[in-house]
């Protein structure tokens, strides 16, 4: 139980680092107050362009990857601490203690953690991302294709129980999109 607790606490604290808010401050704005009010890569990219948003992309992915590695370091052969750490990082990104509980949707944090959970499926997902982005001339479409394909790709390399864990992580993303949709309706 102690390894899972360490993984969860470490993952949550890593996830709580508000990369988009920090990058936004450097450029004189708070992404939680402009655009879609989502403190994530896409909102920062729309405000500042690709070059300025690269640190957000890298930082949000790195949060998930580092959390997964923390879980792996304490795992003793079990995948549970890895999933717990990635889930905690996603929760930290969505509801960050260091940014007034106002966070993002956790897509990149999920992707970074998934790179640790199933590296070969992650690599195939990146290939799909590139292919779909080029075919549709849209990074947003490429991202959707890649993220939604990850459980099917993981099934090639991992047992169904692990794929179910990935599905549970993806439910956190769905929850955040649902919350955003409700907030937009109320506004």
Which DSSP letter does residue 98 get?
G
How far apart are the C-alpha atoms of 13 and 67, rounded to whole Å? 9
Please state, as a whole number, how many other Cβ atoms lie within 10 Å of the Cβ of residue 123.
12
How far apart are the C-alpha atoms of 148 and 143, rounded to whole Å? 8
CA distances (Å), 70 to each of 7, 115, 118, in order?
A: 6, 13, 15
pLDDT tens-digit profile, the chain (187 residues): 788 899 999 999 999 999 999 999 999 999 999 988 889 899 999 999 999 999 999 999 999 999 999 999 998 888 999 999 999 999 999 999 988 888 889 999 999 999 999 999 999 999 999 999 999 999 889 999 999 999 999 999 999 999 999 999 999 999 988 887 887 777 6
Measured distance between the N- and C-terminal CA atoms of the chain, rounded to whole angstroms: 43
Nearest to 95 by CA among 108, 105, 85, 81: 105
Contact, 45 vs 36, CB < 8 A? Answer: no
């Amino acid at each position: 139980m102690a390894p899972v607790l360490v993984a969860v606490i470490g993952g949550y604290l890593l996830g709580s680092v508000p990369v988009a808010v920090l990058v936004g401050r450097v450029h004189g704005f708070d992404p939680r107050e402009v655009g879609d009010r989502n403190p994530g890569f896409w909102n920062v990219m729309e405000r500042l362009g690709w070059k300025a948003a690269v640190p957000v992309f890298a930082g949000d992915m790195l949060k998930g990857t580092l959390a997964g590695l923390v879980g792996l370091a304490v795992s003793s052969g079990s995948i549970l601490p890895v999933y717990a750490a990635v889930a905690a990082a996603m929760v930290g990104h969505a509801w960050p203690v260091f940014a007034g509980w106002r966070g993002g949707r956790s897509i990149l944090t999920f992707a970074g953690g998934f790179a640790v959970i199933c590296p070969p499926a992650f690599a195939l997902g990146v290939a799909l991302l590139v292919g779909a982005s080029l075919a549709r001339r849209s990074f947003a479409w490429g991202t959707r294709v890649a993220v939604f394909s990850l459980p099917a790709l993981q099934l090639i390399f991992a047992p169904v129980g692990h794929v179910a864990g990935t599905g549970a992580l993806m439910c956190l993303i769905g929850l955040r999109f649902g919350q955003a949709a409700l907030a937009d309706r109320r506004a």
